[in-house]
């Protein structure tokens, strides 16, 4: 039986992407990376792991729809059935949302609905909250909205620095995201 095929979308460092690749039992195959920033470090990680990279620069397209249509063509040609966003700092538009309804998942470094958007770790740290965390959720048309699949709390200690907190959050992300992906694909197979 051929494995379920997934694409990862990322804009930055790619530590979550790397964590997915290192998970031996992800239950799906990551067949390509979509990146919107030509210089992003995640591209090098993909190359080292022999994962094809498709870089699409939004500024080269007249509209978001044109940008997403071109991405959609690549995804459909590759037989992709799931999209996992891993630090992809763009709102998914109607074109991809409709084509992959209920099949686009995101990870966010806070306990949503608290601290959506950019710099979520800094936002939580600066409000002196006692807890923050990680959320994995389905994508809808909003910014870090959409039905929540899993959350994990991360404590903020009085002695914390942004760096220490970021490292603890990332550690949780790197375990939570692959395990949620595996669960989603297995549940789908059981239907
Ligand atoms: C991760 O912390 C992810 O949760 C966050 O970007 C980081 C990407 O790190 N995503 C968001 O803030 C989405 N709103 P990575 O490139 O090392 O995986």
**Does the interface predicted TM-score (ipTM) exceed 0.90?**
yes
Query: Which CATH number fits the domain that encloses residue 123?
Result: 3.40.50.170
108: annotated active-site residue: yes
Q: Please, which contacts does 182-191 make with residues 24 or more away whose CB atoms are closer than 8 Å?
A: 182/23, 182/25, 182/26, 182/27, 184/82, 184/105, 184/149, 185/4, 185/26, 185/27, 185/28, 185/82, 186/27, 188/4, 189/4, 189/27
Closest CA to 61 of 29, 93, 30: 93
Q: Phi, psi at residue 7, to the nearest 5°? A: -115, 145
Question: For residue 12, what pLDDT is reported?
Answer: 97
Q: Is the pTM of this model over 0.90?
A: yes
68 pocket-lining for ligand 1 (C-beta < 6 Å): no
Question: For residue 6, what pLDDT is reported?
Answer: 98
CA 169 to chain centre: 14
Question: For residue 62, what pLDDT is reported?
Answer: 97
Q: How far is the CA of 120 from the centre of ligand 1 (A)?
A: 9
Q: Are 89 and 64 in contact (CB under 8 A)?
A: no
Which residues span the domain enclosing 171? 4-190
DSSP 8-state symbol, 119? -
DSSP 8-state symbol, 38? T
Overall number of domains in the chain: 1
43 pocket-lining for ligand 1 (C-beta < 6 Å): no
Q: How are strands ordered across the β-sheet holding 104-108?
A: 53-55, 29-35, 5-10, 82-85, 104-108, 131-138, 148-155
Helix (H) or strand (E) holding 27: none
Question: For residue 181, what pLDDT is reported?
Answer: 98
Residue with tokens 């760096």: 163
Residue owning the nearest CA to atom 12 of ligand 1: 108
pLDDT tens across the length of the chain (191 residues): 568 999 999 999 999 999 999 999 999 999 999 999 999 999 999 999 999 999 999 999 999 999 999 999 999 999 999 999 999 999 999 999 999 999 999 999 999 999 999 999 999 999 989 999 999 999 999 999 999 999 999 999 999 999 999 999 999 999 999 999 999 999 987 76
Q: How far is the CA of 87 from the centre of ligand 1 (A)?
A: 4
Atom of ligand 1 nearest to the CA of 13: 16
The answer on whether 24 is annotated among ligand-binding residues is no
Question: For residue 190, what pLDDT is reported?
Answer: 74
Atom of ligand 1 nearest to the CA of 143: 14
The answer on whether 16 is annotated among ligand-binding residues is yes
15 pocket-lining for ligand 1 (C-beta < 6 Å): yes
């Amino acid at each position: 039986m051929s494995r379920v095929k997934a694409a990862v979308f990322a804009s930055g460092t790619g530590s979550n992407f790397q964590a997915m690749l290192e998970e031996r039992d992800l239950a799906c195959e990551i067949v390509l990376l979509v990146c919107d920033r030509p210089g992003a470090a995640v591209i090098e990680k993909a190359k080292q792991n022999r994962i094809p990279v498709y870089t699409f620069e939004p500024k080269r397209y007249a509209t978001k729809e044109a940008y997403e249509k071109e991405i959609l063509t690549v995804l459909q040609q590759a037989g992709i059935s799931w999209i996992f966003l891993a630090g992809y700092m763009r709102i998914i538009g109607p074109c991809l949302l409709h084509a992959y309804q209920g099949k686009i998942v995101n990870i966010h470094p806070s306990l949503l609905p608290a601290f959506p958007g950019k710099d979520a770790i800094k936002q939580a740290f600066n409000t002196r909250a006692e807890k923050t965390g990680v959320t994995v959720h389905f994508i809808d048309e909003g910014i870090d909205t959409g039905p929540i699949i899993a959350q994990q709390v991360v404590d903020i200690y009085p002695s914390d620095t942004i760096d220490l907190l970021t490292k603890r959050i990332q550690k949780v992300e790197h375990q939570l995201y692959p395990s949620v992906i595996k669960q989603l694909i297995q549940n789908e197979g059981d239907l």
